[in-house]
Structure formats: structure tokens, C-alpha cells
Chains A and B, each alone.
Chain A
Amino acid sequence: MAIKSKSRQKKFDTRIDFTPMVDMNMLLITFFMLCTTMIKSQTLQIALPTNEKVEKEEQNKVKQSEAVTIIIDGKIVEKNGVQTSDPTEGMLYYYDGMPEIDNLAQGESNMKQIEFGAKTGGAYPAIREILQERNKEVVLKVADLKKQWKEQAFSKDEKKNDSIFQAKRKQAMNDSTLKRPVVIIKATPNASYANVVSVLDEMQINSINRYQIDRINDVDSAMMIMLQGKNLKK
């Protein structure tokens, strides 16, 4: 017993100091956090018509009562020696059906103008109301479907509910018995890319599936110039 108490060893500390390890880990985490992209970009799918003459003529046989032409204009500003277009300075011009240019010399046409950022009612951009009005039947139907979707009326299973809703929505958008507009989107060279994308967005928001991007023609630009001149005189 006596011997044992004599040879009492000092207890060795087995704990390792983790502080440097933590330091290093923190450094690595910081590195990875700064170098990664957590948010992935989204994409917007569009299909342009082929630019073969024959097909173009066929496409132009759009029912006049259904056609809406939207022209996007913008303002070029120079930034660091590069010409950019300011998305906040956008202007929208639109007309229904064919251009009416009988009294163009007096500045009369069926073209109307709104500011891009103009809002009506709530926080909706003005263009949305215009498009919604023309696509009323489909919008109402989709809104009704959405209500059912929220109540899970299609199916109790969430995934099934989603897919049935999407299918029905698509069906409503393609329903030829409803009055649906055909939107022709044109942009002047000065329009900003952001504004073109946001008009394309409005198509999705308003459940319009018949739209196309076209090039601006002389009649359109003449109408725009006359309208701008008229507004200046006021």
C-alpha cells in the first residue's frame, strides 16, 4: 500500500486543444461561402417564329379583333462610355387590331401610350390591367382554378393537386372557345432588355399563351412619332 501511494503518477491530460482546428475550419467555411452560388438563375423560355417569308404571312392572319400590339420604347443613357438603356425610363405604346392611320397627319391613330412604371389600382403595372381586360375570360377561369387549387379540391395529395392544377390551367389557356388575345410584342432599339423581359413576364402572369416577338415596322414608328409630337404640343 505504501509503495503504491508513493508512485502516484501525475494524471496526464488527454484532451487536445481544438482551438486551431476550429480556426482553420472557420477559414474554410468562409472561403466556401464566398465562392459559391447558392441562388441559381432562372430561365424564361421563348420561341420566335422562323423568319421564312411564307410562314410569316400565315402568322399574320391573326384575327384582327384579337390582336394587341405592344411596342416597348426606352431611353439610351451613356454610362462609362457604354450605351445602356435605363429600365426606369421605359414607355409603352399599344393598339388593338390593325393600325388605323387614316388621320395620321393630324396625329390621330388608335395608338395609346403609357409610362412603363405606371401603376393602377394596387401595385400592378398599368399594362397588366390592359392585358387582363383583353384576356378576361381566361384570367377568370384560371383564378377560379387557383381557388380550387388552394382548397385542394383536385386532390388531397399536394403533388397531385399541383399537377392537376397545372394541366387544367394549360387547358384553359389553350381553350379556343374562350376569347383570347394574340399579343404582338415589338421593341425599339432603345428599349432596355429588362423591360422586354418584364413584358414577356406579363404574358405569363396574365395567362396569355399566344404572343410573339416581332420587328418594329415603319407604320409603327410613324404612329409613335406622331403620338409623341401630339403629346408635346399639349
Chain B
Amino acid sequence: MGKVKIKKKETRIDMTAMSDVTVLLLTFFMLTSTFLQKEPVQVITPPSVSEEKVPVANLLSVLVSPEGKVYLEVLGSQDSTDNKKFGSENVRAHMLQNMAEQYNALHPGANISFTKEELAKFSKLNAFGVPITAMKQWLNMETEDRDKALQQKDAGIPINMNEDPNKPNEFQMWVRAAYNSIDPELQEAILKGTGIAIKADQTTPYSVVNVVMDNLQTIKFNKFTLMTALKSEEE
């Protein structure tokens, strides 16, 4: 018989090139990504033509839910490896201590203090929003329970219309605590007006946002920013 050999055709495709591309894309996403932070409430910020970006460091953001619950998020200087700069964790721990001191000074009989472990736990958290009296209990919860606790009806930092800077409410104390935290860059940002940002949903009634603005005004932090989403506007 004839020695005709039919060449077997290779059906496998070379995946090397594909692999190259995916690795490249992966590297890109890994380097450019900043993870979505888990937030206690999801808000859709109102559109605006303003093109200023939200700072990634030295920022105290006030998250306002439509019902009027207030949560805070603190970011210190970005680079925590530099000894001269203060990372978010450092700032948060100092902030909590300062807050406890302020609260104790204003409420005779109150004796709120936190252990090192509790401070360490607090410094790892992104957003918080419980009354300071419940803070200890909240910090000692499991992570899941902690997130759930923020959704409860009585969650949120206590806030009310208050025009007496000498008798601040808890929200005002927290803002002062952030200002008094050891980070000079955060302090400067707050004074300049870029350090405090209000983040509220677009359907929130103005009365709710107004309470927060009014509180800031009372303690003389009357420069701040509103977080918005970009809207293109032809002029």
C-alpha cells in the first residue's frame, strides 16, 4: 500500500499570546485600582459641573443617609510609611482618644476610655457611626454584626440643631477630634475647606443636609465641600 501519510492537523491554539494580554490587563487593573470602600449606606451624589476631584488623603467625609443618620470616614495622609506623615490608622486612633476626652470633660461622671486593642480595631475601620457610649460595645462585635449594627435604627452619630459651640453635640465633637488629631496635614486641609466633605443622596431633603451644615457652621468650620458626580454641561 502507498506510504501516504496524512499530516495530523494541530487543533490546539497557542494560548501564550492570550496569556500575555491577560497578564498585562491584570497588572493594569491591580495598579490602578482603589477598592470600593464598604459604606453603611449607598448614596447617589447629585450631579454638578465642578471638576475638582475628591482628595484621596486628609479627608473627613460626612456620609448623610436620607433619614438623617450621620456616619464619618477619616483618611489621614496617604503615605503611612513616611515617619513624618500620619497614616489613616494613626489619625483614627488619636481621634477616638480625643473624642473620649472631650466627651468625658463635657459630661461629668462619664468615664469613657478605650483599650489598646479597641483603638487598634477602630483604626482599621473605614466608616463608623454609633453614639460614643455604645462605641466600646460596637468595637467588640464581630465584623458582620458591626456592619449590621450600623444599619439599625438607632445607629448614626447623634446630631441635633445646636448653636452653642460650648456645648457641642457628638457630631461636633467628632469633627473637632478630627481637627485635633495629630496630623497637621489633615488640620490644614480642614482649615482650607478641602478637608471636610459632605456626601448625601440627591433625593435627601435639604432640611437633613442643613442640620449637618449648620452644625459645622456653629463650630466655625464653615468651609467645606460637597461631594458630587460629574455632569457634562455644554456652555
Contact of A198 with B47 at beta-carbon distance under 8 Å, contacts A85-B203, A191-B205 already known: yes
Q: How far is the CA of A36 from the CA of B35 in the complex (A)?
A: 5
B31's closest neighbor in chain A, by CB?
Answer: A32
Contact of A32 with B19 at beta-carbon distance under 8 Å, contacts A42-B51, A50-B220 already known: no
A38's closest neighbor in chain B, by CB?
Answer: B32
Question: Closest Cβ of chain A: how far from B36's Cβ, in Å?
Answer: 5
Question: Closest Cβ of chain B: how far from A23's Cβ, in Å?
Answer: 9
Q: How far is the CA of A42 from the CA of B202 in the complex (A)?
A: 14
Q: How far is the CA of A103 from the CA of B221 in the complex (A)?
A: 41
Residue B33 lies at the interface, judged by CB distance under 8 Å to chain A: yes
Say yes or no: A87 contacts B202, CB within 8 Å.
yes
Residues of A173-218 at the interface with B, using a CB-CB cut-off of 8 Å, are 187-194, 196-198, 200-201, 204-205, 213
Residue A26 lies at the interface, judged by CB distance under 8 Å to chain B: yes
Contact of A42 with B54 at beta-carbon distance under 8 Å, contacts A33-B29, A197-B46 already known: yes
Contacts of B55 in A (CB 8 A): 43
List residues of B whose CB falls within 8 A of some A CB: 12, 14-16, 18-19, 22-23, 25-26, 29-30, 32-36, 45-55, 66-67, 163, 193-194, 197, 199-210, 213-214, 216-218, 220, 222-231, 233, 235
Residue A5 lies at the interface, judged by CB distance under 8 Å to chain B: no
Contacts of A204 in B (CB 8 A): 49-50
| Interface size band for A | 35 or more
Residue A12 lies at the interface, judged by CB distance under 8 Å to chain B: no
Q: How far is the CA of A174 from the CA of B223 in the complex (A)?
A: 20
Q: List 23 A-B contacts (CB under 8 A).
A: A25-B23, A25-B26, A28-B26, A36-B36, A42-B51, A44-B50, A44-B225, A44-B228, A47-B193, A49-B217, A50-B220, A74-B205, A76-B205, A82-B67, A84-B203, A85-B204, A87-B203, A187-B206, A188-B206, A194-B47, A198-B46, A200-B226, A201-B50
Contacts of A42 in B (CB 8 A): 48, 50-54, 227-230
Residue A46 lies at the interface, judged by CB distance under 8 Å to chain B: yes
Say yes or no: A187 contacts B48, CB within 8 Å.
no
Q: How far is the CA of A79 from the CA of B66 in the complex (A)?
A: 10
List residues of A whose CB falls within 8 A of some B CB: 15, 17-19, 21-22, 25-26, 28-29, 32-33, 35-51, 72, 74, 76, 79, 82-87, 187-194, 196-198, 200-201, 204-205, 213
Q: How far is the CA of A32 from the CA of B55 in the complex (A)?
A: 22
Say yes or no: A191 contacts B25, CB within 8 Å.
no
Interface of A is mostly: mixed
Contacts of A41 in B (CB 8 A): 45, 53-54, 199, 227-229
Say yes or no: B205 contacts A83, CB within 8 Å.
yes
Contacts of B213 in A (CB 8 A): 48, 213
A76's closest neighbor in chain B, by CB?
Answer: B205
Q: How far is the CA of A35 from the CA of B33 in the complex (A)?
A: 8
With A85-B203, A187-B210 already in contact, 10 other A-B pairs whose C-beta atoms are closer than 8 Å: A17-B15, A22-B19, A28-B26, A32-B26, A43-B197, A45-B193, A46-B226, A74-B206, A189-B206, A189-B210
Question: Closest Cβ of chain A: how far from B184's Cβ, in Å?
Answer: 21
Question: Closest Cβ of chain A: how far from B77's Cβ, in Å?
Answer: 18
Say yes or no: B205 contacts A198, CB within 8 Å.
no
Contacts of B204 in A (CB 8 A): 84-85, 192-193
Instruction: Specify which of B18, B19, B206, B218 lies most central, judged by the most chain A CB atoms within 10 Å of its CB.
Output: B206
